[in-house]
Amino acid sequence: MARLNLWRWGVFGLAGLYFLVPLAASVVFTVDVPGQGLTVDAYTQIVGTGGFGSSLLLSLELALATIAVVLLLMVPAMVALRLGAPKLRPVVEVVCSLPLVVPPIAFVAGIVTVLKWGPEHLSRTPLFQTFVAIQNPDFPVVLVLAYVVMALPFVYRALDAGLRAIDVPTLVEAARSCGASWPQALVQAVLPNLRGALLNASFLTLALVLGEFTVAQLLGFRPFAVWIVNVSGSQAQLSVAVSVMSLLVTWLLLLVLAGFGGRSRTTSRG
């Protein structure tokens, strides 16, 4: 048994070394600048650096819009599938898993092509204005559309786990017998029981959007992750400092969430 314990702590030790050293080294990298000694300039400069505020704000706005759209689309659909229409259930499951088969880079290649149809084929139709509008750099709706698609597998899994734990038909029937309308039954009887799952889905989507780089960069927009890469060329210390901060904030959010909703596992990358 002693041998087994030794073996186990050896494995944990090596894993801890591998997973913690890069984080510790990043912190050292940002405060111990060659030729300047110890300094926290990298952290105090973050807020004042051009583009920090606007790119972070853009990312947060995109995240909020994505969460709102994906929940509005998914919650009614998933609840309705529990109430009836069993034939639709596999359809929705497949639709929500499809983004896993299309890597983000292939997806964005498709989006770029579709966006080119605007100027190439549709310039005399009213649709052209729509194409221009969804690419407004102040708030690129096209990114929200892409992020909603990319969030579908995560949100599906989170909501499915939540719905599995409650008896939706009974809840709705009880609410209806008490005279509630359909929307009332959904909002006041079902949703409160799904609080954990909704929170889970929202945080996963938030983390996805805040860290997303591929689609935003290749479509030429500049939310937070793209800004970090752009700024890294001229200010290495600063970009690492922001990276450390954003990793820590994301982990804190997700750890808090895991504490809320018990052990949550997601086994696939978007």
Partner 1 sequence: MTATLPRVDTAPAAAVKRRRRSLGWVAVVPLLAFTAVAFGLPAWAVLDGAFTVKSTGAYSTANLTASWQGAYLTALLGSVKLSAVSAALATLLGLPLAQAVVTSRHRALREAVLTASGVLANFGGVPLAFAFVATLGNAGVLTRHLGLTDKGWDLYSFWGLVVVYLYFLIPLMVLTITPALEGLRVQWREAAQNNGATTAQYWLHVALPVLLPTLLGGFVLLFGSAFAAYATAAAIVGSSVPLITLQIADALSGNVLVGQENVALALSLDMVLVAGLVMAVYLPLQRRSARWLA
Query: Scanning residues 185 to 244, which ones bind partner 1 (CB under 8 A)?
Result: 204, 207-208, 211-214, 217-218, 225, 228-229, 232, 236, 239-240, 242-244
Question: Which of 60, 64, 77, 122 is close enough to bind partner 1 by CB under 8 A?
Answer: 77
Give the per-residue contact string, 84-123, with partner 1 (x = CB under 8 A; - = no).
xx--x--xx--x--xxxxxxxxxxxxxxxxx--x------
Which residues, in sequence order, are CB contacts of 147 under 8 Å at separation 6+?
62, 66, 205, 208, 209, 212, 215
Which residues, in sequence order, are CB contacts of 2 under 8 Å at separation 6+?
none
- Binding-site size, partner 1 (CB under 8 A): 92
Coil, helix or strand at residue 32:
strand
* Smallest separation (angstroms) from partner 1 to the CB of 32: 8
Q: Which of residues 153-182 bind partner 1 (CB under 8 A)?
A: 167, 169, 182
Give the per-residue contact string, 127-146, with partner 1 (x = CB under 8 A; - = no).
------------------xx
258 interacts with partner 1 by CB under 8 A: yes
Task: Give the helix/strand (H/E) hosting 37.
Answer: strand 37-38
What phi and psi values does residue 136 have, to the nearest 5 degrees? -55, 120
59 interacts with partner 1 by CB under 8 A: no
**Residue listed under structure tokens 């060659």:** 34
In the complex with partner 1, which residue's Cβ is closer, 57 or 100? Answer: 100
268 interacts with partner 1 by CB under 8 A: yes
**Residue listed under structure tokens 């889970």:** 200
The token pair at 202 is 């929202």
Q: What's the chain's Rg over C-alpha atoms? A: 23
28 interacts with partner 1 by CB under 8 A: yes
